[in-house]
Amino acid sequence: MNEINTPCLDHVLQPVATAKGLPNAHYIDPETAGSEREKVFFANWAAVGFGKDVAEPGSALPMEFLGLPLLIVRDDDGTIRVFQNTCRHRGMILMEQAAKVKGVIRCPYHSWCYSKAGKLITTPHVGGPGINVAPEIKRDELGLIEFKSHVWNDIIFVNISGDAPAFEEYAHDLLQRWREFDQPIYHGGPESSFKLEVNCNWKLAVENYCESYHLPWIHPGLNSYSRLEDHYHIVQPDSFSGQGTTVYNPRLDDSGRSFANFDNLDAKWDTSAEYIALYPNVLLGIHRDHTFAILLQPLDHQHTIEHIEIYYAKKSSITTDMGDLRQKNAELWKSVFLEDVFVVEGMQKGRQGIRFDGGKFSPAMDEPTHCFHHWVASRFTA
């Protein structure tokens, strides 16, 4: 690295008033990104997809998670499973396009076939022409490698190392905080699904999402009805952080139509909404009538895809006649997220500054961001 004055991670682990941020290497150095893959993404519960994209038994979706080829499959029982997308024979990639698997997952190379639950079930000619078994090929030992996975609010999480506590324990504090919202959600459809490609390290998207400090300058439109002083910080050390507003009041339709609310919410939610980053890579928004999730897919240490999906509280909100309202809501969110692009990309560029020392946090305004830095640094020092 060509840095000077690089603060060590001990500085990040200080209280917010005296802490520095993560060193530049955590944003611009491929080697550090390699360690981060193991310590941050593989050792924890990371988001890799959405249940709606494997909607039916047999739906299969290949994806690359920091270079690791995954195959997300909904099996015949409706269970979502996440496999390594690699054949157990000679390591051929199994699927390269999303598809509906009719019978079995067939390797295109020598046609070993796996059930949707990952069991190796046929091995043609493996014992010689016309002989489909061999004593050395023990099928029950050669199923697809499956990773621990969990679906919450339609978000598919994986723990690649297999060492993390159960998801319910990992996300316990957030599940508790939002337990009132433990209700069915309904994806809005095509207009409620979009992605943004940003030229920055994934962490900068988290850091920016956590804080409301930038609101007056980056989101003047939003700030006109949901001002800086209408926001509060949310900080749960070692788990999540973000911000909330106390003036959520959607005005989407002149004719008086609106989206129906979740059932039995506390009166607080009449006007509150919360925006929380569940570490490492999912950004969540919750409102009385809809939710959204932004899954951050790091392509490498300086390129990230933000997958945005919007869900509604009631089926009545996803009908065709509400399509224009959903479109409006999606456009509103998209415009807000687009406003953030130049700052997350700008921070990436700024981190090429060889004398940047990780930066200084405002104790009053940057605590949610520091909470995230502290969590990341703790993964490296644990």
User: Does residue 36 touch Fe ion according to CB under 5 A?
Assistant: no
State the binding partner of 90 from Fe ion, ligand FES, none, CB within 5 to 8 A by kind.
Answer: ligand FES
In the bound complex, what is the minimum distance in angstroms from residue 107's beta carbon to ligand FES? 3
Q: Residue 225: which of ligand FES, Fe ion, none does it interact with, CB under 5 to 8 A by kind?
A: none
Name the minimum Å distance from CB 32 to ligand FES.
34
205 Cβ contact list (under 8 Å, min separation 6): 198, 283, 294, 296, 304, 306, 340, 344
Biggest alpha carbon distance in the chain? 75
Residue 77: CB minimum distance to Fe ion, A: 41
**Best CA proximity match to 297, nearest among 53, 4, 122:** 53
Q: What angle do CA 373, 376, 382 make, to 5 degrees?
A: 130
The mark string for 72-111 relative to ligand FES (x by CB under 6 A, - otherwise) is: ---------------x-xx-x--------------x-xx-
Q: Does 125 bind ligand FES (CB under 6 A)?
A: no
Q: Contact region for Fe ion (CB under 5 A) — 125-133, 156-164, 265-273, 335-343?
A: 335-343
Burial of 197 (C-beta count, 10 Å sphere; 0-12/13-18/19+): exposed
Cα dihedral value 168, 175, 161, 43, nearest 10? -140
| Interacting partner of 171 out of ligand FES, Fe ion, none (Cβ under 5 to 8 A depending on kind) | none
**Angle at the Cα of 183 (from 181 to 188), degrees rounded to 5?**
95
The structure tokens listed for 53 are 């994209």
Cα-flanking dihedrals φ and ψ of residue 340, to 5°? Answer: -80, -15
Q: Which of residues 242-281 bind Fe ion (CB under 5 A)?
A: none
Residue 350 beta carbon to Fe ion: minimum distance, rounded to whole angstroms: 17
Instruction: Pick what 340 binds: ligand FES, Fe ion, none; C-beta below 5 to 8 Å, kind-dependent.
Output: Fe ion
**CA 369 to chain CA mean position, Å:** 17
Of the pair 90, 100, the CB lying nearest ligand FES is at 90
Exactly one of 75, 340, 366, 367 binds Fe ion (CB under 5 A); which one? 340
**Given the complex with ligand FES, which of 128 and 256 has the nearer CB atom?**
128
Tell me 42's DSSP state. I
Between 90 and 195, whose beta carbon lies closer to ligand FES? 90
Whose Cβ is closer to Fe ion: residue 157's or residue 202's?
202
Contact of 90 with 110, CB cutoff 8 Å:
yes
Q: Which two tokens stand for residue 340?
A: 């953030």
Please report whether residue 218 would count as binding ligand FES according to CB under 6 A: no
Task: Point out which residues bind ligand FES (CB under 6 A).
Answer: 87, 89-90, 92, 107, 109-110, 112
Task: Point out which residues bind Fe ion (CB under 5 A).
Answer: 340
